[in-house]
Structures are given as C-alpha cells and as structure tokens.
Structure 1
Amino acid sequence: MKNEHNMAKRSLLYWAELFSRQMVEKQAYETLKDTITINILNFDYLQETDEFHSEFCLLEKKKHFLLTDALAMHFIEMPKLRQKWRTKEVTPQKDPLVGWLLMLDGNDNEEIRKQLEVVAMGDPMIDRAMKDWEVASADPQLRELYYDRKKAILDQLAAVEASNLKAEKAKKDGIAEGVAIGKVETICQYLEARFGVESQVLQEKIRTITDLDVLSRITNRIFIVAHLDDAIALVQDYLVSQ
C-alpha cells in the first residue's frame, strides 16, 4: 500500500467490513471467526518503533489485558525490513517471515533473489513458491498482468502525489476549496489510471461534487474497488445519501 496518511482508520474499516460480513440473520455471536488484517506497506509508517513488523490488538488501557483476540492488525513496513536486511539484522535463514516478505522484492532485486535461492535449498515451501513464480514469470500473459499491475500502482502513486501538490498549492494560495479540489483530483486521476477512458463519465460526475465530507468518504473507499461498476455504485450511494 502507498502512504495516504490514514492507514490506521483504513485498516480498521477493512477489519470491520470483514468481521461484520460474517454475520447473518439469527447467527450466534460465538460463531464469529477471529479476523486479522495484514497491511504490507511500502513506506515507513510507525515512528514509535524501528521494528518492521508490529501487531495491534484490543487491550485494557491501564492493566493491558486482552479483551478479545477477535481483532488483530499487523503492519509490515517494507523499507524497515529492507534496511534491517541490508545491515544483516534480519535474515531469511533466521526468520522465515523475512524470506517470504523479501520475495515481494525478489523479481526486481538480484541480490535478494540470489539469497532466496540459497534459502530455498533448505526450505521446501520457499523453493516451491520461487518455482511457481518462475513459471508465472515465463507465461507471457501472467507477466503482462504483473507489469500492468505494477504500472497501475506507479500511476496511482503519481496521481496521488500530483493531487496532493495541487491541494497544498491551493491552500497556500488561500483558496478555501483547496482540500476538496485535491480530493477530486486524487479520485479522478486514480480512475483514469485504473480504468482509463471508460471512467470519463464517472470523472465528470466526481468533478461536480463540492461536499468535502462526501469527497473524503469516497477517497477512503475508491482505492479498494475492483471494477468500474463498483466505483460507479460507490459514488452513487454517497450522492444519494447527501
């Protein structure tokens, strides 16, 4: 995930949606399964720690005892992991989690890939995962999907950064609508990067919205939709609720 400066609330929202989705009519609460969110971040997030893996749960404020293990949130900060790996504070040999996480960088980092090949000789699961990745990489269609996804992520990052700069400039220029303008640009540029020209009609509708609260709620949800129809329905729901 990229840095949108709202990871705690985003993660809590995702958890709540997953947890509540289990509930059906007349279902007993005891049957609800524990729900875990895992956030793999490509930026430094938690300034209070230099650990790359942090876990949060529901604890009593004074005595620190656990209320329930139904909720757990994991934050994995890849830049911290890379730094600890470079300084040899962590290694795939000592911590299997390190190996699995480094596989995310293995396709773009020759040094990581070579180290994982050594680890794979003694770890059947890593070995199988790497072989599966090699097979997938050899498939032109899967490889194309991988690079399309990578390009979409880079386009999304660029769109968000550009809109943030526009919003900041607008605020510095004393334009009261600066924040709303920035959010409109964020949403529209993401839609353009994610769905292309097919999203033009939806973008035009977005540009007519001036309610900052509505724009904020759309921004918090738009990045998790899988299809253009889902994005259209999301925006329509918020417009109806105005």
Structure 2
Amino acid sequence: MLSPMLDFVFKALFGKEDNTSKKLLISLLNDIFVNAGEDRITSITYLNPFNYRDFMNDKLSILDIKAKTEKEELINVEVQVKNDYNYRKRILYYWSKIYGETIKKSEDYSTLKKTISVNITDYNAIPESKKLHSSFKILEKDEYFPLTEDLQIHFVELPKLKQKEIKELSGIELWAEFLKEAGKEGSEKKIKELMERSEIMKDAVENLGKISEDDRMREIAWAREKARLDEISRIKYAERKATEQGMEKGMEKGMEKGMEKGMEKGMKEGMEKGIEKGLLLGKKKIAQNLLKLGLSPEKAAEAAELSIEEIMELKREIEK
C-alpha cells in the first residue's frame, strides 16, 4: 500500500467527495476534538475535494483538506513529513488566511467563523511537549480563559505515539498507529490487527488499499517523490558549491595578506582571517543560491545563518 502520510494519498483517503472519505475524516477529527475536550462534529462539506488535476501542474505544492462543519466552522487538515523550521508561523499564517475568508465585504466582524487547523506531522514539531496530541488556543496569561473560541490549532506528532499493544490503543492513538504503519514494509501484521481492532480502522485500510491499486495514484507518487528529492538535491548542491567557493576565495585572500606581514605571523593571521571571510562568503553564496531557488528571505537567513538585513541586501543585489 501507499503511505497515507503522502499528502496526496492522505487527501485521496480523507478528502474525496464520497461517503467513505467523509466518514473517515469525521471519525479522525472527532477523536482529535474529543481528546482536547472539544465538541464533536456530525457532518462536513468539502471546500476543496480531491481532484487528480491538483497534482499535475505543481508537484511541490502543499496539499490540504478544507472542510466546513454543520455549524459553519472551517477546518483545515494537513500532513507534514519533513521538518519545516518555520512550520509554526506558516500554520498560523494559513489559519489567518482561512479565518479572514469567512467574512464578506458587506458583513461585520461578528460573522467571522471559528477556524480549526489540524496538523499531523511525521516528526517532532512541538519539542516542548511529549504529548502525542497538542491543542492550542489564545488564553489569558495568568487566568487561562480564552480571548475567543475562534482559534484552535491541533498538532498530532506520530513519533510521540507510545509503544503499546494495538488492543490497548484507542481514539487518536489508533489513527496515529494507522498513519505510521500503513504502507511500511513489514507492517502487515499490525495492519491486520488494526482492522480487527475496530470497524473504522477496517474501513480506512480497505479504502487505502483501493487507492493504492490505482495506477494514476502510483504514477503521481513517483512524480511527486522525484520532484521532492530533486528539490532537496538542488538545495544541497547549491549549499556545497557556495561553501567550497567561499572557502577557496577566503583562503586565497588570507594567504596573500599573510605573505605581506611575514611568513610565520602572516600565515597565521591570514589563515584565520581568510577562513573567517571565506565562511562569510560561503554563507552569502548559499543565501544567494537559496533566494534564486525561490526560498523566502526568512528561510534563507535561517539556512545560511545570516541576519535578515544581510539577506535583504543580497536580495537587492540579485534584483539589480
């Protein structure tokens, strides 16, 4: 089977315009909400249902599921398999965009709808906590009452699932086990136990099996994975070449300066300054390449270990 943690497989599994997908998504969301002490939902309407065309044009696009509940509340569900160091801010930004879309020009602020962000990650996104499921709201600092119920952000971090017998798992733990193990080599026994554990797990596994037998889905899996690996390779290559070029230039300048001040003393000082300057040149070259590849100034600054002011200066040089 294909892994349900591949974003397009996840969307096909939980975001198709059919009763099975709706049943699975409602069950998953309710297990998350109940675990956080929130109300259950009874129905959903997809705002961006699964469509094969979503995957054809942009193989690196972020795919999520947007849905509306019977109370007109909006829910955005997304899976993330690699560590994005700006993930928290991105999630908050996405939440704000969706929240802002719930009001129309002729309406007042009272019409804004509760917006819920659900994020399932295959890495530790919230290192401050050991919990499988974390839930966030805007609360008063000392007395902990909410400013508004309109904001709700959930994280389910699969690596934090505690080792248990499948018969001991329940609710969100069962979903985490399914998302972790399905599609993994050698997981057949666990998948069989999950199917025997509950009817909803049986439905999830069977639906995933049907999706995995679709030749188009397998082609998309290969194409998106290849695009993702190619993008990683381009970034790594740019970083390596920039570092090599920066070190080489720095060493040359350091050697020249060292020779002018005397062989022994000059070599020592020149090498130190050359290496330092070389490292800086290398970082700037990395940042330039990352900016050319389309990374945001904030991400480029974080990756190259430079200040945002230095990054913006490099960006202006590139744009000249």
TM-score range, shorter chain: 0.5 to 0.7
Q: 2:192 aligns with which of 108, 117, 122?
A: 117
Displacement of 1:55 after TM fit?
1.2
SS at match of 2:148: strand
The structure where helix makes up a greater share of residues is 1
Q: Counterparts in 2 of 1:133-152, with a 5 A limit?
A: 133-152=208-227
Contact 1:23–1:32 (CA under 8 A) maintained in structure 2: yes
The whole-number CA distance in structure 1 between the counterparts of 2:217 and 2:183 is 14
Q: Deviations over 1:113-142 (max 9, x none)?
A: 432322223422222221121111112111
Partner of 1:56: 136
51 and 120 in structure 1: CA distance in 2 versus 1, 3 angstrom threshold = same
Q: TM-score, normalised by structure 1?
A: 0.64
* 1:73-112 aligned within 5 A: 73-81=153-161, 84=162, 87-88=163-164, 91=166, 94-105=169-180, 106-111=182-187
1:52 deviation in Å?
2.2
The aligned counterpart of 2:286 is: 182
Show structure 1 runs of 5+ residues with no match. Answer: 189-202, 207-213, 221-237
Q: CA deviation at 1:15?
A: 0.9
1:61, CA displacement in angstroms? Answer: 0.8
Which residue is equivalent to 1:18? 98
Secondary structure class of the residue paired with 2:149: strand
Say which SS state the counterpart of residue 54 (structure 1) adopts.
Answer: strand
- Report the CA distance shift for 1:137/1:19 in structure 2 as closer, same or farther (over 3 A): same
1:99, distance to aligned residue in structure 2 (A): 2.5
In structure 1, the residue corresponding to 2:103 is in which secondary structure? coil
Report the count of equivalent residues: 194
Residue 109 of structure 2 corresponds to residue 29 of structure 1: yes
* Inter-CA distance 50–100: structure 2 relative to 1 (3 Å threshold): same
Distance 1:23 1:166, change over 3 A: farther
Greater length-normalized contact order (CA 8 Å, ≥ 6 residues apart) = 2
Q: Quick one: which amino acid aligns to residue 184 of structure 2? A: D
Distance 2:300 2:104 in 1: 29
Cα pair 1:41 1:78 within 8 Å, conserved: yes
Distance, in Å, in 1 between the alignment partners of 2:127 and 2:283 is 26
State the distance in 1 between where 2:133 and 2:229 align: 24
- Verify the 8 A CA contact 1:120 1:127 in the aligned structure 2: yes
Q: Distance in 1 between matches of 2:199 and 2:299?
A: 44
SS, match of residue 37 in structure 1: strand
Which of 110, 129, 146 is 1:66 aligned to? 146
Deviations 1:11-54 (A, max 9, x none): 11111111112222012322222112222223223222211221
Q: Distance in 2 between matches of 1:219 and 1:23?
A: 34
Distance 1:132 1:104 in 2: 13
Q: Deviations over 1:55-75 (max 9, x none)?
A: 111000111111112111122
Query: C-alpha root-mean-square deviation of aligned residues, in Å?
Result: 3.5
Deviation by residue 1:189-229 (Cα, 9 ceiling, x = unmatched): xxxxxxxxxxxxxx5xx6xxxxxxx9416879xxxxxxxxx
